[in-house]
Amino acid sequence: MIFVTVGTTSFDKLVEEVSTEKFHKAAREAGYSSIRIQFGRGTVKPSAPPKSGSLPSPLALQSYRFKPTLEEDTEAASLIICHAGAGSILEGLRKLKRMLVVVNDELMDNHQEELASALEGKGHLTYVSQPQQVAQQLKEVPMFRAPFRPYPPADLSPFYERVVDLTAVPARAENTNPH
């Protein structure tokens, strides 16, 4: 299953792209049979393209605006296509999912592109700068079948140690409560 998420904002261009015959055909050819789309505050509601001679069977489609958590969808996905927001990217990487990240060029600065480019450079994901490039990436990038570099787990010990230093609160040993 392909899971597409735009987070809490809107990214109508991405939703439009994953609703096209071109995308559905590329996804079918890559071996996918279903797609689940979280479309946030967008004005474009996802839809499957009609059956045609070149697309006898579009992907099975589910969509919604928001859920309290995306964990179930993230777990179920074999590929996540998402906007280049840090929260969405980190959620997918922590679940060790293959990710195709799409930069939302309608935002004011290019922080999304900087983050996506840095993570692609380390082998954690693939990114495109335009939604119209998504279908082509599904066709061309062997990364979706080849190993990728897992994102390392978070090490919060330096943060914890700094908090202890700043607050002068000693670290509590586990199970020190006599009751």
- The residues spanned by each domain of the chain are 2-152
Q: For position 111, what pLDDT does the model report?
A: 82
Q: Is 11 left (phi over 0), alpha (psi -120 to 50) or beta?
A: beta
CB–CB of 31/106 below 8 Å? no
For 43-81, the pLDDT digits (tens) are 999 999 999 888 889 999 999 999 999 999 999 999 999
DSSP bridge pairs for 34: 60
CB–CB of 44/17 below 8 Å? no
CB–CB of 84/125 below 8 Å? no
Q: For position 155, what pLDDT does the model report?
A: 74
Q: For position 175, what pLDDT does the model report?
A: 47
Backbone angles phi, psi at 24, to 5 degrees: -60, -40
Q: For position 106, what pLDDT does the model report?
A: 80
pTM (predicted TM-score): 0.81
Amino acid residing at 99: M
- Low-confidence stretches of the chain (pLDDT < 70) are 108-109, 141-148, 152, 169-179
* CATH node for 2-152: 3.40.50.2000
Distance CA 112, CA 83 (A): 8
